Every structure is written in structure tokens, then in C-alpha cells.
């Protein structure tokens, strides 16, 4: 799923940029700056949760696909199963 991989990569980049922005504006903690920083921090927290959810779902799909391949190919040893996971 290249599209999903790209989405995850894009989300990681947005999170990194938002973290950089928060860090570089740390000294601006008054009035509208603080309000904007608070909104960005909240959005960043949501984005991190969403990224974690995407990554967990992707990992679960990979594990399931590997298991299905192990069953289909009659992989009975641990070595065979591990090798199948990397092919």
C-alpha cells in the first residue's frame, strides 16, 4: 500500500515540522502567541495519536499477511517463518 506509506510519511513530516515550530517559538508565551501555540500543541497531540493508530494497523496487517503466507506455504519451523516475513 504505497499510498498509505506515503500518508504515514507525510504525517510524520507534519508532526516533525509542528514540533520544530513549537520549539522555535518557545519564547513567545504571551497573548495570541500562547493561544496559537496551545492550538498547535493540541493538534500535534491528535496527530501523534493518529500516527500511532496508523502504524499499529499497518503492523497488524503485516503480521496477518505473514501468518497467512506461513500457513499457505506450510512453514513449520521458526526459521522458515522468520524468512517468510522478510520476503
Q: What would the grid cell of residue 51 be?
A: 500516527
Q: Mean of the pLDDT values across residues 38-62?
A: 92
Reply yes or no on whether the pLDDT at 29 is more than 70: yes
The answer to whether the CB of 51 falls within 8 A of the CB of 15 is yes
Residue 51, number of CB atoms within 10 A of its CB: 16
Question: Can you give the pLDDT at residue 76?
Answer: 85
Task: List the domain boundaries for the chain.
Answer: 2-85
Q: pTM of the predicted model, to two decimals?
A: 0.70
Query: pLDDT tens digit string along 8-22?
Result: 899 999 999 999 999
> Mean of the pLDDT values across residues 54-76?
90
Contacts of 66 (CB under 8 A, 6+ apart): 81, 84, 85
CA–CA gap between residue 3 and residue 13 (Å, rounded): 15
Amino acid at each position: 500500500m504505497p499510498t498509505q506509506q506515503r500518508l504515514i510519511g507525510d504525517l510524520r513530516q507534519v508532526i516533525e515540522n509542528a514540533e520544530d515550530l513549537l520549539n522555535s517559538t518557545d519564547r513567545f508565551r504571551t497573548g495570541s502567541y500562547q493561544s496559537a501555540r496551545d492550538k498547535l500543541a493540541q493538534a500535534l497531540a491528535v496527530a501523534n495519536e493518529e500516527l500511532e493508530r496508523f502504524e499499529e494497523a499497518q503492523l497488524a496487517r503485516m503480521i496477518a499477511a505473514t501468518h497467512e503466507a506461513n500457513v499457505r506455504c506450510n512453514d513449520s519451523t521458526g526459521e522458515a517463518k522468520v524468512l517468510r516475513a522478510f520476503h
